[in-house]
Amino acid sequence: MNGPNLNLLGSREPEVYGYDTLDDIKGRCEALGSELGFQVDFRQSNSEGEMVNWIQEARTDHAGIIINPAAYSHTSIAILDSLLASEIPIIEVHLSNIHQRESYRQHSYVSKAAKGVICGLGAQGYDLAMRAMAQLLEKK
Protein backbone atom coordinates (compact mmCIF):
# COMPACT_ATOMS: atom_id res chain seq x y z
CA MET A 1 0.00 0.00 0.00
CA ASN A 2 1.44 3.32 -1.08
CA GLY A 3 0.57 6.75 0.21
CA PRO A 4 0.26 10.25 -1.19
CA ASN A 5 2.28 11.49 -4.17
CA LEU A 6 3.99 8.16 -4.76
CA ASN A 7 2.06 8.10 -8.07
CA LEU A 8 4.53 10.85 -9.13
CA LEU A 9 7.59 8.64 -8.74
CA GLY A 10 10.04 8.72 -11.62
CA SER A 11 8.89 12.18 -12.71
CA ARG A 12 10.76 14.41 -10.24
CA GLU A 13 13.43 14.20 -7.54
CA PRO A 14 15.11 11.05 -8.95
CA GLU A 15 18.18 11.84 -6.80
CA VAL A 16 16.01 11.24 -3.71
CA TYR A 17 13.52 8.59 -4.86
CA GLY A 18 15.21 6.93 -7.87
CA TYR A 19 14.13 6.57 -11.50
CA ASP A 20 11.58 3.76 -11.10
CA THR A 21 7.93 4.70 -11.55
CA LEU A 22 5.33 3.25 -9.21
CA ASP A 23 4.22 1.03 -12.10
CA ASP A 24 7.79 -0.33 -12.40
CA ILE A 25 7.75 -1.13 -8.67
CA LYS A 26 4.32 -2.74 -8.99
CA GLY A 27 5.62 -4.97 -11.82
CA ARG A 28 8.61 -6.04 -9.73
CA CYS A 29 6.45 -6.79 -6.69
CA GLU A 30 4.02 -8.86 -8.74
CA ALA A 31 6.86 -10.85 -10.34
CA LEU A 32 8.50 -11.52 -6.98
CA GLY A 33 5.09 -12.32 -5.50
CA SER A 34 4.52 -15.15 -7.95
CA GLU A 35 8.03 -16.47 -7.23
CA LEU A 36 7.27 -16.44 -3.49
CA GLY A 37 3.75 -17.82 -3.91
CA PHE A 38 1.97 -14.56 -2.98
CA GLN A 39 -0.92 -12.81 -4.61
CA VAL A 40 0.06 -9.12 -4.53
CA ASP A 41 -2.63 -6.45 -4.25
CA PHE A 42 -0.62 -3.29 -5.07
CA ARG A 43 -2.37 0.01 -4.32
CA GLN A 44 -1.72 3.74 -4.06
CA SER A 45 -3.91 6.45 -2.59
CA ASN A 46 -3.59 10.18 -2.00
CA SER A 47 -6.33 10.00 0.62
CA GLU A 48 -5.77 9.23 4.31
CA GLY A 49 -9.37 8.03 4.78
CA GLU A 50 -9.14 5.65 1.84
CA MET A 51 -5.94 4.16 3.27
CA VAL A 52 -7.63 3.70 6.67
CA ASN A 53 -10.54 1.91 4.95
CA TRP A 54 -8.16 -0.36 3.01
CA ILE A 55 -6.22 -1.21 6.19
CA GLN A 56 -9.47 -2.09 8.00
CA GLU A 57 -10.49 -4.35 5.10
CA ALA A 58 -7.05 -6.02 4.96
CA ARG A 59 -7.65 -7.52 8.40
CA THR A 60 -10.11 -10.02 6.92
CA ASP A 61 -8.85 -10.57 3.38
CA HIS A 62 -5.06 -10.07 3.33
CA ALA A 63 -2.26 -11.99 5.07
CA GLY A 64 -0.02 -8.97 5.69
CA ILE A 65 0.58 -5.33 4.78
CA ILE A 66 3.70 -3.81 3.25
CA ILE A 67 3.18 -0.07 3.46
CA ASN A 68 4.96 3.05 2.33
CA PRO A 69 2.69 5.61 3.99
CA ALA A 70 4.72 8.47 2.40
CA ALA A 71 4.05 11.81 4.14
CA TYR A 72 1.32 10.24 6.32
CA SER A 73 4.10 8.33 8.11
CA HIS A 74 4.99 11.57 9.83
CA THR A 75 1.48 12.84 10.62
CA SER A 76 -1.17 10.15 10.76
CA ILE A 77 -2.31 8.69 14.05
CA ALA A 78 -5.42 7.50 12.13
CA ILE A 79 -3.29 5.24 9.93
CA LEU A 80 -1.31 4.08 12.98
CA ASP A 81 -4.54 3.19 14.84
CA SER A 82 -5.92 1.22 11.90
CA LEU A 83 -2.63 -0.70 11.55
CA LEU A 84 -2.55 -1.46 15.29
CA ALA A 85 -6.09 -2.87 14.98
CA SER A 86 -5.31 -4.95 11.90
CA GLU A 87 -3.79 -7.99 13.68
CA ILE A 88 -1.73 -8.95 10.60
CA PRO A 89 2.03 -8.46 10.12
CA ILE A 90 3.06 -5.01 8.90
CA ILE A 91 6.33 -3.96 7.27
CA GLU A 92 7.02 -0.27 6.63
CA VAL A 93 9.09 0.76 3.61
CA HIS A 94 10.59 4.09 2.57
CA LEU A 95 12.55 4.64 -0.61
CA SER A 96 14.74 7.31 0.97
CA ASN A 97 16.62 7.17 4.26
CA ILE A 98 14.20 9.30 6.28
CA HIS A 99 16.78 9.60 9.10
CA GLN A 100 19.15 11.54 6.83
CA ARG A 101 16.45 14.00 5.78
CA GLU A 102 14.57 16.95 7.28
CA SER A 103 13.79 16.59 10.99
CA TYR A 104 10.02 16.39 10.27
CA ARG A 105 10.63 13.21 8.23
CA GLN A 106 12.75 11.50 10.88
CA HIS A 107 9.82 10.30 12.99
CA SER A 108 7.22 7.85 11.71
CA TYR A 109 4.04 7.16 13.72
CA VAL A 110 3.52 4.05 11.59
CA SER A 111 6.75 2.43 12.85
CA LYS A 112 5.06 1.69 16.18
CA ALA A 113 2.80 -0.81 14.39
CA ALA A 114 5.48 -2.29 12.12
CA LYS A 115 7.28 -5.57 12.67
CA GLY A 116 10.17 -4.06 10.72
CA VAL A 117 11.14 -0.92 8.82
CA ILE A 118 13.24 -0.73 5.66
CA CYS A 119 14.44 2.66 4.42
CA GLY A 120 17.06 4.15 2.15
CA LEU A 121 17.40 1.28 -0.31
CA GLY A 122 15.12 2.64 -3.02
CA ALA A 123 12.78 0.30 -4.86
CA GLN A 124 14.82 -2.68 -3.66
CA GLY A 125 13.28 -2.05 -0.23
CA TYR A 126 9.96 -3.39 -1.53
CA ASP A 127 11.64 -6.66 -2.64
CA LEU A 128 13.33 -7.02 0.74
CA ALA A 129 10.04 -6.35 2.52
CA MET A 130 8.30 -9.04 0.47
CA ARG A 131 10.99 -11.62 1.26
CA ALA A 132 10.76 -10.71 4.96
CA MET A 133 6.95 -10.94 4.84
CA ALA A 134 7.20 -14.41 3.24
CA GLN A 135 9.36 -15.56 6.18
CA LEU A 136 7.06 -13.99 8.79
CA LEU A 137 4.03 -15.72 7.29
CA GLU A 138 5.88 -19.06 7.03
CA LYS A 139 6.72 -18.96 10.76
CA LYS A 140 3.12 -18.22 11.75
Length of the chain: 140
Q: Is 109 in the site for ligand CA2 (CB under 6 A)?
A: no
The DSSP symbol for 2 reads: B
Range 35-70 burial, b when 16+ CB lie within 10 A, else e: eeebebebebbbebeebbebbeebeeeeebbbbbbb
Least separation in angstroms between CB 88 and ligand CA2: 21
CB of 44 to ligand CA2, least distance (A): 10
11 is an interface residue for ligand CA2 by CB under 6 A:
yes
Q: Is 62 in the site for ligand CA2 (CB under 6 A)?
A: no
State yes or no: residue 34 binds ligand CA2 (CB under 6 A).
no
Residues 108 and 97 sit within 8 Å (Cβ to Cβ): no
In whole angstroms, the minimum distance from the beta carbon of 117 to ligand CA2 comes to 11
Stretch that binds ligand CA2, among 1-9, 29-37, 45-53, 84-92 (CB under 6 A): 1-9
Q: Report, as residue numbers or ranges, the catalytic residues.
A: 17, 94
